[in-house]
Amino acid sequence: MVNKLEQLYEGKAKKVFKTDNPDLYWVEYKDDATAFDGKKKGTIQGKSYFNNQISAIFFKYLEEKGITTHFVELLSDTEMLVKAVEIIQVEVIVRNIAAGSLAKRLGLAEGTPLIKPVIEFCYKSDELGDPMINDYHIATLDLAAEEEIAQIKKMAWDVNIFLKERLTQCNLSLIDFKLEFGRYQGQVILADEISPDTCRFWDTETNEKLDKDRFRRDLGRVEEAYAEVLRRLQS
């Protein structure tokens, strides 16, 4: 058992604490919700519980499939123990169906299936609004080595395949999702969270949105959507 020490970092959705084991961090999920680069703020009651539990389910599943993640164990309803990764400052977005910013940028109707999945990178910077970048920007900013980006791309494609398989069993479509990776003991591993905050999940039959878009677009029944995703994953 490890002991929780001082706070290392507080983000929009989580707090990260040091522990008395230098190889491990203590993550505390929050009910706070933000959208549009922090311009919209609110609270989603129970989000900390839902995202903690949902992320744990996905991380355990991906580990079984051979994807190394930062997840170690659940500590409570809203807390988990993770490996002490150095987060790579590149957000990785994988898209299967047009929605959100991609639909606007390319003039595609939301819900249009993409002929091939699309992978995008964003510079993880709140000050700059997480701008989209490419491999050349990543190299120029020295955010990650070429070999690391190649590894991240392969892991992201694999995660896409495995998550779609898992979600199909729950009658959920994986529209798109954001991943973050970190360095840990000389290895690049999957980090952050996998939840309705970072993914778009739609009901396979009705296309009902069961993710953070319900908060972004004031669709109502936000908490119910998060609860429904967890219920389907646990059933």
Residue 227 clears pLDDT 90, i.e. is over it: yes
Q: Report pLDDT digits (tens) over 82-114.
A: 999 999 999 999 999 999 999 999 999 999 999
pLDDT at 126: 87
pLDDT recorded at residue 36: 87
pLDDT tens digits for range 183-220: 999 999 999 999 999 999 999 999 999 999 999 999 99
Per the confidence metrics, is the pTM higher than 0.85?
A: yes
pLDDT score of 10 = 95
Residues 53, 59: Cα–Cα separation, whole Å: 10
Instruction: Please determine, for residue 150, whether its predicted confidence score (pLDDT) is greater than 90.
Output: yes
Q: Tell me what the mean pLDDT of segment 167-193 comes to.
A: 98
Q: In sequence order, what DSSP letters do the residues of 188-225 get, joined into one string? A: EEEES--STTTEEEEETTT--B-STHHHHTT-S-HHHH
Residue 234 pLDDT: 97
Strands 172-184 and 86-87, sheet pairing: antiparallel
Instruction: Sort strands 40-43 and 71-74 into parallel, antiparallel or unpaired.
Output: unpaired
Considering the chain, what is the average pLDDT of its residues?
97
Q: In the predicted model, is pLDDT for residue 125 greater than 90?
A: yes
For the cut 90, the answer to whether the pLDDT of residue 37 exceeds it is: no
Q: Mean pLDDT over residues 172-181, rounded?
A: 98
pLDDT band at 9 (very low <50, low <70, confident <90, very high): very high
Give the gyration radius of the chain's Cα atoms: 17
The CA-atom distances, in angstroms, between 179 and each of 80, 208, 220 are 18, 23, 26
Percent of the chain with pLDDT over 70: 100
Q: Which two tokens stand for residue 57?
A: 């389910």
CB 195 within 8 A of CB 55: yes
